[in-house]
């Protein structure tokens, strides 16, 4: 990930945290938080399905749009749970250089996440 990409994720995450206490009538993110984790998870599921559908299409712009929606709502979940983006990037970094099959077999042995 480029430094610019990391900066975008960090800035978006900070904005999502700031919206926790916003008026749900004025902020989509605040309305998601108010609706609870199940509503956030449902939205991630919807966006995942839309991403799959867009992935079957040759329209790259549609796929990028759906991926952005999926990442956005995933970041909302992370903010709701207090998990900053670096917790995921650290896990990805830990997995780098390992066989995907080896990594998958060893997942049950992953160290606990520190907050």
List the domain boundaries for the chain: 3-85
3-85: CATH class: mainly alpha
State residue 111 phi and psi, 5-degree precision.
-70, 155
- Strands (DSSP E) along the chain, which ranges? none
User: What is the rounded distance in angstroms from the CA atom of residue 67 to the CA atom of residue 61?
Assistant: 10
Judging by beta carbons within 10 Å of its beta carbon (0-12, 13-18, 19+), is residue 108 exposed, middle or buried? Answer: exposed
72 has pLDDT over 90: yes
109 has pLDDT over 70: no
User: What is the rounded distance in angstroms from the CA atom of residue 108 to the CA atom of residue 7?
Assistant: 31
For residue 27, the model assigns a pLDDT of 97
Q: What is the mean pLDDT of the chain?
A: 91
Higher pLDDT residue, 2 or 57?
A: 57
pTM of the full predicted structure?
A: 0.83
Confidence class for position 33, pLDDT limits 50, 70, 90: very high
């Amino acid at each position: 990930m480029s430094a610019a990409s990391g900066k975008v994720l960090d800035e978006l995450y900070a904005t999502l945290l700031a919206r926790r206490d916003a008026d749900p009538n004025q902020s989509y993110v605040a309305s998601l938080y108010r609706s609870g984790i199940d509503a956030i998870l449902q939205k991630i599921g919807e966006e995942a399905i839309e991403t799959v559908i867009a992935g079957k299409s040759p329209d790259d712009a549609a796929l990028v749009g759906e991926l952005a929606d999926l990442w956005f709502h995933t970041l909302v979940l992370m903010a709701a749970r207090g998990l900053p983006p670096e917790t995921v990037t650290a896990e990805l970094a830990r997995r780098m250089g390992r066989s995907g099959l080896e990594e998958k077999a060893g997942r049950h042995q992953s160290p606990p996440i520190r907050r």
